Amino acid sequence: MNIALVGYRGVGKSVVGKLLADRLGMRYVCTDEEIIKKMGMGIPEIVQQHGWSAFRDLEVAMTKELSRQNGVIIDTGGGVIERQENIDHLRDNTVVFWLRASVETISSRIKDCTARPALTAGKSFLEEVADVLAVREPKYRETSHYEIDANGSDPNLEVEIIVKIWESLPLEKRTQV
């Protein structure tokens, strides 16, 4: 069994994921980082050269591969919920936590980030975050088993909540493959 973290970029999936991996003695894997390694280029270059659809295809393959493993903290890209296959893979052998944050929190955390290309054209940064989040929130909710408020400034509190939920699951469920 794995733990997956879903949510918009900037909600803290990477920080929480690394802390969780240390705390639970599990392996941490970031799907975006694995795709970057595999392709030998950053996400903006992948999207520019191959398009969003090709990037999403890579994401499906990576999500499928990781969800079939055991004992992994999977830090997903913000758009992992764009494809039903990802949702199906994640919900099969993974407990999914949605790190939920407000538009204002997300915008303040990622306003200077250039690691991802724009998702919408002709909109301000704040409008893009609000519009994309409005579409994705129902999908995050559908995908996740648990919602975690990620608006705070201390990711250790989020880790504690996740650990408490994880440890409350029957041992046989946590260790099943």
- Read off the pTM: 0.88
DSSP letter (8 states) at residue 48:
H
pLDDT of 107 reads 80
What CATH number does residue 42 fall under?
Answer: 3.40.50.300
Domain that holds residue 17: 2-175
pLDDT of 121 reads 57
- Distance in angstroms (rounded) separating the CA atoms of residues 28 and 32: 12
Low-confidence ranges of the chain (pLDDT < 50): 116-118, 177
Cβ atoms of residues 63 and 89 within 8 Å:
yes
Domain count, the chain: 1
From the list 49, 13, 51, 11, the residue with the least C-alpha distance to 32 is 13
The letter for the amino acid at 57 is D
Q: How would you list the strands of the sheet with 94-100, edge to edge?
A: 27-30, 72-75, 2-6, 94-100, 146-149
Farthest CA pair distance, the chain: 50
